[in-house]
Structure 1
């Protein structure tokens, strides 16, 4: 079908029949292939081609250029495709917003692995009891995710500078102090003697707040307390809880984040051999969401996290931030 043979469209508004055929057009335009569109729609390629011919005739617009081996969108077809995709995305978002106006349904959290393992997951029984209709999924990773592409509803990050593109809420502060097993502390006579660290294996979370934070935690702590300590050596990990596990098994001294190691300190699996030598981090934990997602279940989970952080701080005798 050529542009000269297309009849002029009679009406400005789309009919229900035309709207139904636009679905076929959207699939064919996305693949730029009638054969692939046929596979997705469970039709034959000839049926897809026939539907496209019909919608072109109805609209009075040539949507595709056809050759023996391929089809491609015309400039008009590209405009229709972009408008259709934008409309479908808007409609999908509206439907999603409607569905999420209740305290029920799926909710996906993204978190740094260590804060999920050591702090969030142990408390989830309480959240499930309070909000049994919310189906929570927890995903972990060290990267900063794209909310639009991943299906994630909210994230917990640990950094000093939240993204200005997101809606961010402060969750809690953090502080660091060296931790090790009681046996390791006895072996190297560490109690109250940080100068003995020079003989120890240092354990590093090399992605504490970014992919290249390296040995910065140990360096910052040593510099703050005026210790001449070579922090460039030791064992490296990409998660704080792995460094903590290595410390429990006598591999060395880890730089412990207080929020993450407190339960291990309480149980006696780890000790903090240098007493009050604790450094408040410039970084803090914060909750990030898309600015337009004012969903009750996101708000409920956010308030639960903040209450958990406040209770955690009160338990330790510290004021919440």
Structure 2
């Protein structure tokens, strides 16, 4: 094996990137009414979008199916080889099939076409050859042709698979916008991801309620407040009236300030004398990520949750947000 030449390797990488970038730019100019018609067909599909392809096109097809599904267009991948051995039963008349083949002559795809056609399933072909058998038999053809592969041998699917991937992304995003698909919709299909947690988890899902909610009355002594804080371990306690309306909050910070003030008799002091009368609060239906923002903005580590009548309904602290992986 010849010695590795760093400059040559870098130059090869740049050539590949530029070759594929040029192909994608050319692809954009060929997006036309056929693309719009394909989107319309998929948008009004009463079933699911079934994506299929063989070899490297199959890998791209799997990714396109996954992207469609996660952006509001129900979709799944079917292997064309397995399709003729039973998996064709997954394809129903109300579905739309999106078939990928650079040559447009892939035997496994052409073999299943008559059976799919017979049941009335609509067909969209994405190929690099508008005159191919697959392109001619499809209801709609999407032109994904490229002038050359980035592979110097012209054999390994490189530029062609990139073009197909980009065209698939274009379909998914166009459908996303046509459906009015929102960030909340995206989060619902990604509940385990960071975005899902930020957009789905609400304060009501995390807050402490009932016996776990720290609270004392306005007549409580400092010792009562400290016992309540120790019991619930949230670092704060709410001070409420008899109807549960929030009057103030006593926190670790308030305790430190009281200890520094030698004029205060800690044994006899009432919590009402030491509490903050303007507590930072939040609503239970707000997003947990908003609680994190409020804590950071006001430099507090815990929040009290109130309803529209300013009654205490819950409490949470930064550790609750960390456990939920919201921050």
Higher relative contact order (CA 8 A, sep 6+): 1
- Normalising by structure 1, report the TM-score: 0.31
> Is the radius of gyration larger for structure 1 or structure 2?
2
TM-score when normalising by structure 2: 0.30
